Chains A and B, each alone.
Chain A
Amino acid sequence: MIEHIPVLLVVLPVLGAAIPLIVSLYSDRGGWSIAAVTMLAHATLAGLLVPEVWTGGVVSYAVGGFALPYGIELVVDGLSLAVVTLISIISLGVLVYARHAGPHENTFYSQFLLLVTGLTGMTVTGDVFNLYVFLEITGLAAYGLVASGRRVSAAVAALKYLIIGTVGASLYLLGVGYALATTGTLNMADMSTKLAAVGYDSTLVLTAFGLMVGGLTVKVALFPLHTWQPDAYANAPDSVSAFISALVSTVSAYALARLLFSVFTVDFLTAVPAARWALLVLASVSIVAGSALAVSQSNVQRMLAYSSVSQFGLVIAGFTIATPIAVLGATVHLIGHAVMKGGLFAASGIIERKTGATTVSGYAGMAGRTPFVAGAFALLALAMVGVPPAIGFVGKWYIVLGAVEAGLWPVVVVLLASTLLTLAYFARLVERLYFAEPTIHDEPAVADGGAEADESPASSDHRSDGGGAVSTGMIAVVVAAAVLAVVLTGAVPLLDQLLDQTLPPLLQ
């Protein structure tokens, strides 16, 4: 049983995704319970793997018993286990949030579990083509989820996301074609030895690298390729934007790291400095441009989306620097960002339901109306800026240390500037929340109804999936995210230990 866990992690949510549809024949509710049971089982399976990976280092599984490297291999090491655990926990958090916030349809929970399948598959696979398939499963589920927003503009945003996302995934597939032509294998470990044998300066290898990494940066949403993201996040239902902002880009960034370290290896980055610099420049531009765009937004959710563009620049920079400390920092920030950004989106959803405020100016004085959520929002925002002892500080600190160690001074400057830039857009918002007088002009219905006016116009036209009201569970999720953003700092040594067995072989 225990040796089958890697494949069960993927199979379980697929099967779970089919059940709500069958249940739909008899009842249009019940999807939530099925998703909750499935995700609890998923979390348990991930938990069972922890001692295995802690002692054994790597768990490998040959799907269907086909001999490796011909069959599909699933690999769980410290890095992928950390991401799988993150997927489990965030999904459970989103389920608690969606219990009241909706959408309540069974189809929503099918898509939700399909998305979990795709994300988990991307994380545990050890096969580059298999990664493409899971990338597309993730994509398809995410497009559907974004389109489930009530407004029709959600469909436009989803179609935009679909077209750009498909081009990204197709470029990745084309890159797999080049890699297959070069090495004749699809298994990541096998491919990395064969790529080394072919020689890193071969045109085929370079083309494969460019296409595969380029394709994934579309999914991560680095700067010039991010255009799908703000529309998708701002138009999706609250539960969905919290879920995909926390996980979809995160797992794509993980896949990029997996590709860098397990397929092309650090030797490739050393042998081809142009590739490393291209990624570093892309990441640095993303950090600066993402922040600049975030500052110029008036809609809070769009601002949070642009903030992701900037934060993923940081993560990719950390992975590209590729020293152990920088990779640890990037992993910490990858996980920390997921918790913080998911929490921020959930909080912005609650604030919108309670007060109808969606814009930066509309947030003025809202702290008095929603003290817990506003407090959590402020805490998460400060954690994202990198105020110690929050998790956001640790990740950035290690990435900067790595850059200093590697002597990449221009990158150090950008990384330090990124903290100031993050402060620029979050400080503005926190200041509004606490120190500004409530404005009346952009939410007329609130003036007479006060806190009881849950059905303000802004929330009733498209966000009324849960009737506009806010449940204790939703607030608890946001507060838990805020607490986690601070407490996770204490877990960094554990993560360090978990990665201690994984990273050295990858980074030598």
Chain B
Amino acid sequence: MSKKRGWMNAVLMTLLLCAAAVPLTASGAVESTTEIDYFSGRVETVEWTDEKIAEFEQLNPSITVQHEFQKDASNVIKVKLASKSVPDLTTVVNQDFIDQGVFADLSDAPFWDRILPSVKDLCTDLRTGKQYKVATNVTMGGLFYNQEIFTELGLTDAQTWDGFVANLEAIKAAYPQKTPLFFGGKDSWTLGHLIEFWAHGVVKQDLGIPGSRQAFLDNTVQWDAPDGVMEQFAEALMELEQKGLINDDAVTASYDNQKEAFASGEAVMINQGMWVVGDIISLNPAMAENIGFGPFPSVVDGFSPMVLCAEDSVYAISAETEHMDEVMLFLDYMFSPAVQKEYSEVRSMPSAFTDVASDWSPIKDDARRLVDTYVNINFSTEAPSGLSVDDTGRLIQKLLNGDYASAADFAANYQELWNKAY
């Protein structure tokens, strides 16, 4: 009898423990929450994103957003994909992932009506004609210059390569102690952007954005063509170096040195994207009114000056997610005009939403002028993903270090690197 009572007590205790472990609401109903994983690599907005997630969770108590930030997100996500733990929502997207069917088709999502058509085009996968990613902002890249010095010397946007060199020579003549154009080549991606903007830019202008995207995808651009774009690009850089128009430590100075040199007035021009503006103003608030923004000239005669105007702040949803509705609800909140206005101002980047007006940067008037006046080019998102700007920048390190016998050798090496990564 006592043995039977002992069993009964054990069962009762187990049931009580189970009941205590289940969270109950005040009314006694079981509260179920859905957890969505949000994987991001945006270092600039980690705290801001956490704030927005807290606000969203307050409005939607049944959804929890697990925000994971990784500085090295583009690599970490590969580990996640290999281990089959694809986050529900991510900001890290590349063409290979799209080709592998990692992301869900967003073509019918409601937000496209509010997004600039040009940005929607850049979000469209060329192979399928569908959208597997959405970008909320536009980023721009070009030549930042010291407005005061440009005005004093009567310089304007160079329309040709010769005009650009003439501008730099005028700066050197007037201010021998200053660096006309400053490179921070130790961080080789900053040099890799020269290929991305100056050399790829010519191809994009020549073939048009859709044509160049397709050509990159099909690997039909001949980078080592005699007297082709890459050879002329190398010659252009060597000319700048030989004429002393760039800093003599262009290969060993860092990105931080580049920003500091521009902020302090040591450098008159730098080639960068608008992500640099916030840091320059932090280093020297007086520069807020003194930053000019211009296009980069074509290294090949007969082409117009260009400005990088590309999609930024991309999101994609896992094709395997079990919480599509919850993720869309979260994106709906994040894409609301008030949140996007904040984001645009935090990132100092114009919004891709047509119903968002923000005061995003002191250079916004210049940026508008450039978009309207010059050829807009995009990022080479269809270039082989194994070919990073870090790698291409290393070729320029070697070029500026005199390691190539000729510009043709540089072009041949680039073609080899491209083919290997393709």
Question: Is this pair of chains taken from one and the same complex?
Answer: no
A binding-site residues for B, Cβ under 8 Å: none
